Structure 1
Amino acid sequence: MHELGKNLAVAVFEAEGFQVVDLGVDVPPERFADAVVEHNARIVGMSALMTTTMLEQRSVIEELKRRGLRDKVIVIAGGAPVTEEWVKEIGADVWGRDAFEAVRIVKKMLGVE
């Protein structure tokens, strides 16, 4: 996962009142799942810079499923190469053209518009 998009998304979500646990970059799928449990997370967000790294988004979702956590979280997949079609293909919940749109969608899903 990449730094620039991640940092922008973190800033936007925090500005909108969300508590964000920033796991950093190049985070293995297991760490995402561990963090969901550790922080009782309701949302998992991922950002990819290249098509080669966006494949890890699928791996994170597979790990969440493996641990029985997938249905407990809203999964956001974003980044420059990420498309709405990709998000549907990997089973994520949210794709936005930018972090601002992603926040709007998540707030609507949570009923906190």
Structure 2
Amino acid sequence: MAQLMDGKTIDYTYSGGLRFVVAFRNGLASYRAVGDTGGVSNRNDDIPYQSRQIRPGLIHTVWHEENIGDLVSLVIDLDARKIYSAALLGYPADDRMLHFEDGVIAEIKET
């Protein structure tokens, strides 16, 4: 099922310094975390995602990576080139983490 972000790739950096590149295609999200030297430190592909338009240019996306226990929610402001994340990472493990951070989108590619 087609979603609102399909055909877009966003490259963004969180305020804490982590950089991600996320591609959306055919209702699936793929991401890679990019390290300081440009190498990929973490990636996952073909994750079903859902999206909702809050207003034109402001999209809410969510996906669940059942294999690693991550539930990710991103609010993507395409016009202001900002991103807002709320995620529960690594549940149900004891060392799970709540991620709540904003970031700046450096690039938006359309394919």
TM-score in terms of structure 2 length: 0.31
Larger Rg: 2
The structure with the greater share of residues assigned to helix is 1
The structure with the greater share of residues assigned to strand is 2
TM-score in terms of structure 1 length: 0.31
